[in-house]
Structure 1
Amino acid sequence: MHFARLLHLVDSALPTGSFAYSYGLESSITFGLITTPFALRNYLYSYLQQAGSAELPFIHSAFHLTEKSPDFQIVAEEYDAQLLVPGLYKASAAQGRNWLKLLTAFYPAAQLETITQWFTTQGIPPHFTLVFALALQRVSFALGELQAMYLHMLLRDQLSAAIRLGFLGPLEGHQLQHDFYAVFEHIIAVNADKEFGEATRSAFLLDAAQVLHAEMYSKLFQN
């Protein structure tokens, strides 16, 4: 039942807001950065590599701290400073608030509202990557489970967006998702034990595409 609960928490039907934003995929397709299935594979590989090097170190550090730890404020401020793309910054904060609200309702005994209170008091947005690790550590999930499920969520949301945009068919998209799970083991092995001070961003073209997202006419919610 423990693992089933984790699967529920990362289900795309859970209203955290991750479904609503393509993190640059839509603009990459619109502006011709992705034009073929092969280019999409390269994009996904770069996207997951950057997630591994930039996000997993923060998950590792947050998992081994609590919001009351003096060092956690440094981690939170550093993560906040590294989110330079306005769309990503806004989406991360909104997703984090929704995540904490849901988990507080699911696990009342864990007193997760103290995490929300800490971010409010410090004036720092509750970014999703940080509160994902803080909350799930407090309700007794293991770090390895968090790392794998975090990458799973990112990959699933990207492919869901590609399918909704009509770039891939559902069967093709899910086959691609199945194939990419083989990449997770390598990404986690390289980045699993890194601290937040070792976090790096490498896919700057993806960041540029994410900046352009706010300037385009979105097709994601058209029927």
Structure 2
Amino acid sequence: MRLYIARMHFARLLHLVDSAIPTGSFAYSYGLESSLTFGLITTPSDLRNHLYSYLQQAGSAELPFINSTFHLTEKSPEFQTIAEEYDAQLLVPSLYKGSGVQGRNWLKLLTTFYPEAALETITKWFETQEIPPHFTLVFTLALQRVGFALEELKAMYLHMLLRDQLSAAIRLGFLGPLEGHQLQHDFYAVFEHILAAQVGKGYSQATRSAFLLDAAQVLHEDIYSKLFQN
């Protein structure tokens, strides 16, 4: 019976990381398209460096918030401080908007998947506080409530970020599908290092390090987008 439950738990995890789940992350290249347009990425080696920097920043900027949020609920006094801090550190308008959109979609989907978890209380809390339900925060709150472990959350989070970057590179024609999947396979080896570097770090230790990626994302709205052209 325990083995059956473990397998079902793993199957649900696979479903939640499926790229077909419409959270909105598919629509954002997080600076990749701008970097290609303006010549910051011109070779496969450049793309590898971009992905490494992107994941390192995700590790140092996002994982500490996940660490802190996981041990709280939206009603915890400390969580309001965390939500306000996270809201204040998202300075790129398109990332700020995208984070809220993805967070709302994530909560809407998981509310239908896990009605018994009463996830609508998370949505109501953000509405009452007039803070966008940023994806990193509601991703953590919701999955913790439905029974996933912290280490599972963090590995899932990095997987989703890497997958979406490589999906964007493939849609933009910079990579072929086979090359993209090979890169994804290779980069899983990087996860262990990134996760280990952030063990025990809380939101007050979060740092952003890849400012060039943020600058590229600022320019995204001003370029002729090719992301969804055939």
Structure-1-length-normalised TM-score: 0.99
Of 35, 42, 45 in structure 2, the residue corresponding to residue 28 of structure 1 is 35
Q: Does residue 191 in structure 1 map to residue 190 in structure 2? A: no
Where does residue 44 of structure 1 map in the other structure? 51
Of 117, 128, 134 in structure 1, the residue corresponding to residue 135 of structure 2 is 128
Q: Cα deviations across residues 3-37 of structure 1 (Å, max 9, x unaligned)?
A: 11011111110010010110100000000000000
Deviation, 1:73, is 0.1
Q: Does residue 53 in structure 1 map to residue 51 in structure 2? A: no
> 1:213 & 1:8 partners in 2: Cα distance?
30
> Quick one: which amino acid aligns to residue 170 of structure 1?
P
Q: Contact conserved, 1:57 with 1:199, CA < 8 A, in 2?
A: yes
User: How many pairs are equivalent?
Assistant: 223
> 1:192 & 1:179 partners in 2: Cα distance?
22
Deviation, 1:192, is 2.8
The alignment yields a C-alpha RMSD, in angstroms, of: 0.5
> Quick one: which amino acid aligns to residue 170 of structure 2?
I
Where does residue 151 of structure 1 map in the other structure? 158
Where structure 1 has 5 or more consecutive residues not aligned to the other structure, the ranges are none
> 1:195 & 1:114 partners in 2: Cα distance?
24
> 2:55 & 2:228 partners in 1: Cα distance?
25
> 2:200 & 2:216 partners in 1: Cα distance?
29
Structure-2-length-normalised TM-score: 0.96
Q: Contact conserved, 1:137 with 1:143, CA < 8 A, in 2?
A: yes
Q: Contact conserved, 1:147 with 1:192, CA < 8 A, in 2?
A: no
Where does residue 209 of structure 2 map in the other structure? 202
> 2:199 & 2:149 partners in 1: Cα distance?
12
Where does residue 75 of structure 1 map in the other structure? 82
> 2:81 & 2:222 partners in 1: Cα distance?
33
> 2:31 & 2:79 partners in 1: Cα distance?
29
> 1:170 & 1:158 partners in 2: Cα distance?
13
